[in-house]
Amino acid sequence: MFSNSSKYAIKAVLFLAVNSSESHRIMVKDLAAPINVPQAYLAKLLQELSRGGIISSKKGPKGGFFLSKENVQYTLMDIVNVIDGNDKFNSCLLSLEKCNADKPCPLHDLASPSRSKFIQSLNQNTIDEFSIQIEQGKVFLPL
């Protein structure tokens, strides 16, 4: 479903959403442990996310990663797009070009609408909304 890299990236962003702020930045080494991701690999992913504008960073002493007010408006789909490239979810399950609602492939109706609803969720829910859910104790972070 998600690549390992995307899973790691999502976990990192959610952790930052809850635990970091403009004034309280988090270093790679303090992020890698709690979300259970190899530090060196995570560093690379964070740099991609940073370049992609999904997260913010500050170099040097007292530096680290954090989410700005803008960052927190991105969605899970934005994260996946930066890490894995676009169109991981927008195509036919069998990658058939001619598959559509009029001439569906055998898996089309099996997948849709449950699938399209899922994809919609990836596109709609912001990071901010997730962190609210976490703070309200509705979902849990041990990552």
Partner DNA sequence: ATTAAAATATGACAAAAGTCATATTTAAGA
Partner DNA sequence: TCTTAAATATGACTTTTGTCATATTTTAAT
Helices (H) and strands (E) in the chain, counts: 7, 2
Q: Site for a second copy (CB under 8 A): how many residues? A: 38
**Member of 30, 84, 126, 141 binding a second copy (CB under 8 A):** 141
Q: Is 72 in the site for a second copy (CB under 8 A)?
A: no
Site string for a second copy, 2-31 (x = CB under 8 A): x----x--xx--x-----------------
Of the candidates 66, 81, 79, 84, which has an alpha carbon nearest to the alpha carbon of residue 27? 66
Contact of 128 with 17, CB cutoff 8 Å: yes
Question: Looking only at residues 92 through 121 of this chain, which bind a second copy when binding is defined by CB under 8 A?
Answer: 93-96, 98, 103-111, 113-115, 117-118, 121
**Member of 72, 122, 126, 128 binding a second copy (CB under 8 A):** 122
Choose the contact partner of 107 out of a second copy, DNA, none; CB within 5 to 8 A by kind. a second copy
Of the candidates 67, 84, 37, which has an alpha carbon nearest to the alpha carbon of residue 130? 67
C-alpha 97/C-alpha 71 separation (Å) is: 34
β-sheet bridge partners, residue 126: 75
Tokens 């403009």 locate to 22
C-alpha 55/C-alpha 66 separation (Å) is: 6
* Interface contacts to a second copy, rule CB under 8 A: 1-2, 7, 10-11, 14, 76, 89, 93-96, 98, 103-111, 113-115, 117-118, 121-122, 125, 130, 133-134, 139-143
